[in-house]
Chain A
Amino acid sequence: MKRFFSFRNLTALCFLLFLLVFFALGLKPFLREAYYALRWGDGTAQAEERFDEFLPGKEQWVTLNGGVQKLLGKREVNARYLLDNGQMTYIIPELDMSGIAANTAGLARALEERDIPFLYVNLLFKIDGEDKQLPAGVEDYSNENADRFLAILRERGVDCLDLREREKAEGLDHYSRFFPSDHHWKPETGLWAAGEVAAALRERDPSFSFDPAIFDLESYDCQTHEKALLGSCGRRVGTWYIAPDDLDVLTPKFETRLRFSVPSKDLLREGSFAETMLFPEILEQRDRMNSDSYDVYCGSVYDHLRIENLQGGSGKRLLVLDDSFSLVVVPFFSLAYAQVDYLDLRLWDGDLLAYIDETQPDAVLILYNPGALEDNNLNMFEFFR
């Protein structure tokens, strides 16, 4: 034993110490995950995956690795790409749009039969189709996919709003409207998008009127939380690779009274915008790897979120099918209407047409970003289940 604990065996001793420290720290999470794997029949692969998520010092390990990748000059790390302008994103391959376009046109037809207006809104993707900023040799087809998808929809008479066109028409700088460490857009961009969609609805039917102040940035107080957001790309590569972003929390200067409810979670909040739409406690979480400050708006993505404007808004009731980009659209868009139901089809497994028949919304909208245009994107285009 004495011989073993000698200076000559320093490498072995350091190795053992390293292993034992992580064994001590990791045993409890491992046993928990192994228990779940046995209890729920999840399989050991999933238990390993979940153990990896709770690996002791995960944030520091990822940060270190990000630093190494930066030193090596790598532009592709963990399936995320560093753009020429220093921002990060993922990329989308060229995909067949015919299936999901047919499904969407089918939904539009079903709504037409019910005399319910329908609008497909194509949001922005992190990559600007006219200024991709990708390293030479890397191709992204998100915008080309969206072009083909919208062309099919328009050909089939589906009403579409392409926010990319609005952005270009207004001469807005694309990349500054996104978080550099995330593929999501900023709250200010969400506010802009909400205003564009509301204006498009009003243009089609003047009864969808709204107070223009709702979508005016000047109507909001802005509190900037410095370096508060490490986006989904950033969480994959760490802060030595890309710095965290500042996050603006917008609160209306005007009076608001809302009801925020998530039936599946028994979550019910009533009060002002700040009391219902914002979850500031998320900004206090220290675990940047396992929390997303983007959720300060709405708290999370939900299967079904209902926002009721207790001041009435325009009196209209809407149904919106959405993705995570909506987290910063929902709070502002909802202010213009009496009630908006948001369904995320990745999580909601009800019968959409039955739900529509039951709730009789004044309009149905789809708000998807071009990155969501995939056949296998977790049921987002499975409208008739």
Chain B
Amino acid sequence: MLFSSSVFLFIFLPAVLLGHFLLRGQRARNLLLLAASLFFYAWGEPVYVLLMLFSICANYLLGRGIDAKRGRGIDAKRGRGRKALLVLAVVVDLGILFVFKYLNFTIENLNALLGLRIAPVKLSLPIGISFFTFQALSYCIDVYRGTAEVQRNLLDLGLYISFFPQLIAGPIVRYNTVAQQIRSRSVDAEGFQQGVKRFILGFAKKILLANNLSIAAEEAFSLAGTGELTTALAWLGSLSYSLQIYFDFSGYSDMAIGLGRMFGFRFEENFNYPYISRSVSEFWKRWHISLGRWFRDYIYFPLGGSRVSKAKLLRNLFAVWLFTGIWHGAAWQFIVWGLMYGLLVAFEKLSGVPGRLRTRAGRGLYAALTMLIVNAGWVLFGAESFAGALTQLGAMLGIHAAAPSALAGFLLRESWVFLAAGVLFSTPVVSRALAKLRAGREDKPLLILGETALYMLLLVLCVSYLAMGSHNPFIYFNF
């Protein structure tokens, strides 16, 4: 089930909200949310809900085991036992991920490399597997490190791993950030309203902007390799996709954060206007923040972070970016995409650019270059194949581009409003202006009425697109 579906909006969400309000007590509410989350997952993945249940049970037992081996003082035997159980947790969680996501990719490459003929395994990718396995792993690591208490209630751990708002598109919630909230939280009127507003904003980002921007992007991706991709369309497609993926992904995150707040949870932010970044490193501090923090906490820091020799720093950076690439999908284009960022971040770390640039023009130029690189990176990311990505990147530079046609003009005329709105809303200009307007006037009836009208208008417009059966792509099938 997707948030951007009428079944979710008109049946699932009101039913769960109603139940949550009618029930009293944290235990009952948690149980309801767990049952709802499993139903949410089973609705689209009836078989893979068993995988989810296995993941919950396995991590529960491993977490309990790791905690049981925690001793007072130094006890080498206990320490080794704990470590062994942690390794087992890593093997189980990453094993699940490997089998379902990377096994066929590995077979394909082994066949190509060694001339083997191993038949691929017929397995579809369980939706959201990269998110929930990373969450499960974070739980076991946090318990091992002692940064979070072990969860003694299987159902509460199940809720953490399967909670529907962040289940299929994140944010990746690290256990130690929500452990306390699972035990005890309250839903207040203000928080609920904030959640509603955030959900509607995310919904609008997804339905009004991302979906409409996807049309030109998909047209360009589909023409790459046919010899019909013009330079203009290659650019229009890449820019549309850059905006589409931002509004789609950040829209899902907003909806998840908003839904979380409606049920009393506070999730960390996942996006912070990444397209105003002045460097690649800054971009990744603003884009998919929860993934960046996960890799930072569980891979980069344990490897020594940046307080190591240059050689080790490079090793650490490339390890993180290699995993980042692979996490996004089992294909070479994602690995190349990740390593490209590894290279760029390493360059910035070692050279001190853009901090060392003295002039405003230089820094501005570097910021523009960053956005061009990010845009090119999205072509690599979104293309149907590595070859398709190279074709589109080539066409953007006029290499093997088709003769100009009127198609790009048509698509631009169709989508210019969404492109303009996309550019505007990918900067904090509007939110800052609105915050200024609201400052000190929060209780003014006119402002409350105006805000309500605006949010409801957005909601009504979104529903009209849903009812229309408009193009509504789901772009996280690789995750």
Residues of A participating in the B interface, judged by any CB pair closer than 8 Å: 3-4, 6-12, 14-16, 18-20, 22-23, 26-27, 30, 44-45, 47-48, 51-52, 55-58, 61-62, 64-66, 68, 72-78, 135-138, 236-237
Comparing B13-21, B26-34, B142-150, B387-395, the segment that makes contact with chain A is: B13-21
Comparing B104-112, B129-137, B324-332, B463-471, the segment that makes contact with chain A is: B463-471
CB–CB B6/A236 < 8 A: no
- Chain A nearest CB, measured from B19 CB (Å): 12
Residues of B participating in the A interface, judged by any CB pair closer than 8 Å: 1, 5-7, 9-11, 13-15, 17-18, 43-44, 46, 188-190, 192-193, 196-197, 200, 215, 405-411, 413-414, 417, 443, 445, 448-449, 451-452, 455-456, 459-461, 463-470
CB–CB B196/A55 < 8 A: no
- Chain B nearest CB, measured from A23 CB (Å): 4
Instruction: Collect the chain B residues with CB atoms within 8 Å of residue A55's CB.
Output: 6, 10, 466-467
CB–CB B5/A48 < 8 A: yes
- Chain A nearest CB, measured from B434 CB (Å): 14
- Chain B nearest CB, measured from A345 CB (Å): 27
Partner of A75, one of B189, B200, B414: B414
Q: Which residue of A lies closest to B467 (CB)?
A: A61
Q: How far is the CA of A65 from the CA of B462 in the complex (A)?
A: 9
- Chain A nearest CB, measured from B229 CB (Å): 14
CB–CB B14/A137 < 8 A: no
Instruction: Collect the chain A residues with CB atoms within 8 Å of residue B7's CB.
Output: 30, 47-48, 51
Q: Which residue of A lies closest to B408 (CB)?
A: A137
Partner of A26, one of B11, B445, B452: B11
Q: Which residue of B lies closest to A31 (CB)?
A: B11
Q: Which residue of A lies closest to B44 (CB)?
A: A44
CB–CB A22/B408 < 8 A: no
| 13 additional contacts (CB under 8 A) given A9-B192, A14-B455, A15-B200 | A6-B189, A8-B190, A12-B193, A16-B196, A19-B14, A26-B11, A27-B11, A30-B11, A57-B467, A61-B467, A73-B413, A136-B410, A237-B468
CB–CB B411/A8 < 8 A: no
The 4 A-B pairs with the shortest beta carbon distances in the complex, nearest first, are: A137-B410, A61-B467, A137-B406, A65-B464
Q: How far is the CA of A14 from the CA of B452 in the complex (A)?
A: 8
Q: How far is the CA of A72 from the CA of B208 in the complex (A)?
A: 12
List 14 interface pairs A-B (beta carbons < 8 Å), by A numbering: A6-B189, A7-B445, A12-B193, A15-B455, A22-B9, A26-B6, A51-B11, A56-B10, A61-B466, A65-B464, A65-B467, A66-B468, A137-B411, A138-B410
| Interface SS of A by simple majority | helix
Q: How far is the CA of A53 from the CA of B424 in the complex (A)?
A: 35
Q: How far is the CA of A52 from the CA of B470 in the complex (A)?
A: 11
Partner of A9, one of B193, B449, B465: B193
Q: How far is the CA of A5 from the CA of B1 in the complex (A)?
A: 31
Instruction: Collect the chain B residues with CB atoms within 8 Å of residue A77's CB.
Output: 468
Partner of B193, one of A11, A62, A73: A11
Instruction: Collect the chain B residues with CB atoms within 8 Å of residue A19's CB.
Output: 9-10, 13-14, 17
Q: How far is the CA of A3 from the CA of B451 in the complex (A)?
A: 19
- Chain B nearest CB, measured from A228 CB (Å): 23
Q: How far is the CA of A15 from the CA of B463 in the complex (A)?
A: 12
Are A11 and B414 CB-contacts (below 8 A) given A19-B14, A52-B469? no
Instruction: Collect the chain B residues with CB atoms within 8 Å of residue A27's CB.
Output: 11
CB–CB B467/A52 < 8 A: yes
Q: Which residue of A lies closest to B412 (CB)?
A: A137
CB–CB A12/B17 < 8 A: no
CB–CB A135/B410 < 8 A: yes
Q: Which residue of A lies closest to B42 (CB)?
A: A44
Q: How far is the CA of A52 from the CA of B46 in the complex (A)?
A: 21
Instruction: Collect the chain A residues with CB atoms within 8 Å of residue B197's CB.
Output: 11
CB–CB A11/B196 < 8 A: yes
Partner of B448, one of A4, A8, A18, A75: A8
Instruction: Collect the chain A residues with CB atoms within 8 Å of residue B455's CB.
Output: 11, 14-15
- Chain A nearest CB, measured from B168 CB (Å): 14
Q: Which residue of A lies closest to B418 (CB)?
A: A72
Q: How far is the CA of A168 from the CA of B220 in the complex (A)?
A: 37
Instruction: Collect the chain B residues with CB atoms within 8 Å of residue A51's CB.
Output: 6-7, 11
Instruction: Collect the chain B residues with CB atoms within 8 Å of residue A65's CB.
Output: 461, 464-465, 467-468, 470
Q: How far is the CA of A68 from the CA of B212 in the complex (A)?
A: 13
Q: How far is the CA of A9 from the CA of B18 in the complex (A)?
A: 17
Q: How far is the CA of A236 from the CA of B465 in the complex (A)?
A: 11
Partner of A62, one of B9, B409, B414, B464: B464
Instruction: Collect the chain A residues with CB atoms within 8 Å of residue B451's CB.
Output: 11
CB–CB A4/B11 < 8 A: no
- Chain A nearest CB, measured from B187 CB (Å): 9
CB–CB B6/A15 < 8 A: no
Q: How far is the CA of A58 from the CA of B464 in the complex (A)?
A: 8
Instruction: Collect the chain B residues with CB atoms within 8 Å of residue A11's CB.
Output: 193, 196-197, 448, 451-452, 455-456
Q: How far is the CA of A78 from the CA of B197 in the complex (A)?
A: 28
Q: Which residue of A lies closest to B193 (CB)?
A: A12
- Chain A nearest CB, measured from B200 CB (Å): 7
Are A23 and B10 CB-contacts (below 8 A) given A12-B196, A15-B455, A65-B467? yes
CB–CB A78/B5 < 8 A: no
Instruction: Collect the chain A residues with CB atoms within 8 Å of residue B414's CB.
Output: 74-76
Instruction: Collect the chain A residues with CB atoms within 8 Å of residue B10's CB.
Output: 19, 22-23, 26, 30, 55-56
CB–CB A23/B467 < 8 A: no
Q: Which residue of B lies closest to A26 (CB)?
A: B10
Instruction: Collect the chain B residues with CB atoms within 8 Å of residue A12's CB.
Output: 189, 192-193, 196
Partner of A236, one of B11, B13, B468: B468
- Chain A nearest CB, measured from B61 CB (Å): 31
